[in-house]
Structure 1
Amino acid sequence: MQSLDYQVVQRAIEWLSNGRTIWFCTVLSTFGSSPREPGSLMVATSEGNHVGSLSGGCVEEDFLERLAAGDYELPTVIVRYGAPGDSPENSRIRLPCGGLLEVLVERMVADPANLSHLEQVREALCGEKELARRVSLTDGSSWLEETERNGPRVIREEGAETVRIRVGPIARLILAGYSTVADACARFALSLGYQVVLCDPRDEITRDLELPEGVEFIPQLPSLYIGSEGACTQSTAVVAVTHDPRIDDLAMMAAVRTPASYIGVMGSMRTSQARAERLRRTGGLSEAEIERIHMPIGLNLGSKTPAEIALAIVADMVRVRRGRSPVDL
């Protein structure tokens, strides 16, 4: 499965390669009711072709109408939806519940510099390092730079003439072993745009599996895959929910030696304490490595069913990816 960000960037590259001018749009900030988060992407041409989205439909329609009318000819412009006034910067569209939406619009002509930049963005989405796009609000120039591991997708300092937009690797979920909870985790993660990989060598468990479309199945011991080169990046979550120590413990031992940003294993508090002791004694894990493991896994929602447990797990993955502390919830 390809994330929506990847699809937007790929189509932008194709249009530039064919000599077409594009308008590359990024949601900078939202307030109140808004269906897309900061960092969301859309690309469009003056003919009305577009990939991605900024909102639920009304914003895109207004933007494309104005684009066809000849607006947005500057290298960059920040368009505000829901703000008062009537100008290219303040759209007439009013969002529900008094919402506000700011969108960075970059006009990119089909030249080698713009094509090279977006190809680098595509590589970053498929790579292993968190990077950020730095975009000048004065002349439209843009470049990539290294950034911190987690945090907000968009950083715009008051009065600054540039904006920073995170373009790190596509979020990935590695499920160490199959279970009904793993199946539900896969479905939630796919709906959030994650790449999902399920590893399980147990033929008696996986022989007749009907996995959701988009899940990559690898009939291999999860710990071997997790420890392989390039399997885990800073945007990877490793989740073990089989209740089989032969699967779960080995997966945790491999995961803590990778840059994965979320590592978790299912079990009660008592089970988790016993597992921590095993990992110290037989796995040789340090206290710092054990601290990286979320066990018990997931938010404490009082979950009972497989779907509820999966919801708690994936919600916790999102919390960590967005740089939120549990006390903020």
Structure 2
Amino acid sequence: MQSLDYRVIEQAVEWLASDRTVWLCTVLSTFGSSPREPGSMMVAASDGEHLGSLSGGCVEDDFLERVTNGEYLLPTVVVRYGDPADGQENSRISLPCGGILDVLVERLSPQPESIDHLELVKAALAGKGDQTRHVRLADGTHWLEKGAPIGPRVVRDNAEDRVEIRVGPVARLILAGYSTVAEACATFAVSLGYEVVLCDPREEVTRGLAMPEGVEFVPLLPSLYIASDGACGASTAVVAVTHDPRIDDLAMMAAVKTGASYIGVMGSMRTSGARAERLRRTGGLSEAEIARIHMPIGLDIGSKTPAEIALSIMADIVRVRRGKHHVRIDTDTLQP
């Protein structure tokens, strides 16, 4: 299933190809409470037909009313919602919990250049390579450059009067084997918008298994799935939390041969040291490959329960995806 942002761009291309002008909206920044993160998109036509969302309600209604009334005729405009004092094209909408939302609105006419540009954006969202989309605010000029799979989704360059929007495939989590921690990770990941795949060939473990809605179950040895074509990309995290070396070690050996942006396995510092030695001796992994593996996995938040451990794991995955640096702390809190 394609991401919502992919479907937004796909719809924009269809409308442009049908000789319809579209307004492409992108969340630039949020302050306080906001249900949609920077980089989220919505597209609308002049009759109010639309796809996607910016806030989940009131913002969309206000924006669509303005579009159908003939506003937003400039190539680009930045709209601020939730702040009565500031912001270009200030809105009359107040957000819940005092939140503030900045939205880039681009008016795209049905020209081949606009269609070609969005086709490239659509390809990036489909997994054909991460891109950075540049939009000059003064005149709406836009172009693409090769981007990175991690880091902030939106950067506003005030000196150049432009925004940079990272576009790429939806984040993916591969869980190598079932455990209560893996199940909790899956629940968190689905709520964060991740595509989640759980691999486990052990029928005695997965018999009668009921995973959270939105999780794909593959009854296959995780290492085989991880190594298969198209399974792992730059937006993929691979996590092993079974405490079974036959599952976890093989998964790590396969994952380091892929472009996955996050690879982690659960265990204490002592068990992690023993695993690293096994991976060197038996798996033949290089020091550079072992250094790619987060072990012990997760942030040090004093985790004890499966849910707390899963929280620390997903927090670390998000940290890496957002390009935030972290000094790993020696901790034995994640015990087998």
Task: Output the TM-score relative to the length of structure 2.
Answer: 0.89
Q: CA deviation at 1:188?
A: 1.4
Task: Provide the residue aligned with 2:222 in structure 1.
Answer: 222
Measured against aligned partners, the alpha-carbon deviations of 1:19-69 in whole angstroms (never above 9, x if no partner) come to 332211011122333332221111122222322222242222221221121
Task: Provide the residue aligned with 2:332 in structure 1.
Answer: none
Task: Provide the residue aligned with 2:244 in structure 1.
Answer: 244
- Structure 1, unmatched stretches of 5+, are none
Equivalent position amino acid for 1:230 in 2: G
Task: Provide the residue aligned with 1:150 in structure 2.
Answer: 150
How far apart are the structure 2 equivalents of 1:93 and 1:153? Answer: 25
For 1:267-278, what aligned pairs fall within 5 Å after superposition? 267-278=267-278
Task: Provide the residue aligned with 1:25 in structure 2.
Answer: 25
Q: CA deviation at 1:307?
A: 2.1
Contact map agreement 1:124 1:169 (CA 8 A) in 2:
yes
How far apart are the structure 1 equivalents of 2:44 and 2:247? Answer: 46
For 1:298-313, what aligned pairs fall within 5 Å after superposition? 298-313=298-313
Secondary structure of the residue aligned to 1:156 is strand
Q: CA deviation at 1:101?
A: 2.2
How far apart are the structure 2 equivalents of 1:96 and 1:199? Answer: 40
Task: Provide the residue aligned with 1:40 in structure 2.
Answer: 40
How far apart are the structure 2 equivalents of 1:17 and 1:228? Answer: 36
How far apart are the structure 1 equivalents of 2:47 and 2:29? Answer: 27
Q: CA deviation at 1:185?
A: 1.4
Task: Provide the residue aligned with 1:9 in structure 2.
Answer: 9
Measured against aligned partners, the alpha-carbon deviations of 1:237-296 in whole angstroms (never above 9, x if no partner) come to 000111110110011011112111111111122211111111111112222221211111
Equivalent position amino acid for 2:282 in 1: T
RMSD: 2.2
With over 3 angstroms needed to count, the CA separation of the structure-2 counterparts of 1:294 and 1:106, relative to structure 1, is same
How far apart are the structure 1 equivalents of 2:311 and 2:207? Answer: 26
Contact map agreement 1:128 1:234 (CA 8 A) in 2:
no
Q: CA deviation at 1:119?
A: 2.2
- Structure 2, unmatched stretches of 5+, are 329-336
For 1:137-286, what aligned pairs fall within 5 Å after superposition? 137-286=137-286
How far apart are the structure 2 equivalents of 1:279 and 1:15? Answer: 53
Contact map agreement 1:71 1:88 (CA 8 A) in 2:
no
Task: Output the TM-score relative to the length of structure 1.
Answer: 0.91
With over 3 angstroms needed to count, the CA separation of the structure-2 counterparts of 1:319 and 1:90, relative to structure 1, is same
Contact map agreement 2:269 2:296 (CA 8 A) in 1:
yes
For 1:77-92, what aligned pairs fall within 5 Å after superposition? 77-84=77-84, 89-92=89-92
Secondary structure of the residue aligned to 2:157 is coil
For 1:93-172, what aligned pairs fall within 5 Å after superposition? 93-96=93-96, 98-172=98-172
Contact map agreement 1:181 1:309 (CA 8 A) in 2:
yes
Secondary structure of the residue aligned to 1:184 is helix
Secondary structure of the residue aligned to 2:33 is coil
How far apart are the structure 2 equivalents of 1:182 and 1:261? Answer: 19
Whether 2:319 is the aligned partner of 1:324: answer: no
Q: CA deviation at 1:312?
A: 1.5
How far apart are the structure 1 equivalents of 2:181 and 2:33? Answer: 32
With over 3 angstroms needed to count, the CA separation of the structure-2 counterparts of 1:86 and 1:147, relative to structure 1, is closer
Equivalent position amino acid for 2:63 in 1: F
With over 3 angstroms needed to count, the CA separation of the structure-2 counterparts of 1:256 and 1:87, relative to structure 1, is closer
Equivalent position amino acid for 2:81 in 1: Y
Q: CA deviation at 1:128?
A: 4.9
Q: CA deviation at 1:202?
A: 1.8
| The 10-residue stretch of structure 1 (243-252 or 174-183) with the greater mean CA deviation from structure 2 | 174-183
| The 10-residue stretch of structure 1 (315-324 or 60-69) with the greater mean CA deviation from structure 2 | 60-69
Task: Provide the residue aligned with 2:333 in structure 1.
Answer: none
How far apart are the structure 2 equivalents of 1:275 and 1:128? Answer: 34
Q: CA deviation at 1:7?
A: 2.9
Q: CA deviation at 1:210?
A: 2.2
Contact map agreement 1:85 1:91 (CA 8 A) in 2:
no
How many pairs does the alignment contain? 328
Equivalent position amino acid for 2:250 in 1: L
| The 10-residue stretch of structure 1 (289-298 or 205-214) with the greater mean CA deviation from structure 2 | 205-214
Contact map agreement 2:299 2:312 (CA 8 A) in 1:
yes
With over 3 angstroms needed to count, the CA separation of the structure-2 counterparts of 1:243 and 1:140, relative to structure 1, is same
Secondary structure of the residue aligned to 2:239 is strand
Contact map agreement 1:4 1:193 (CA 8 A) in 2:
no
Work out the percentage of aligned pairs sharing the same amino acid. 72
How far apart are the structure 1 equivalents of 2:172 and 2:245? Answer: 23
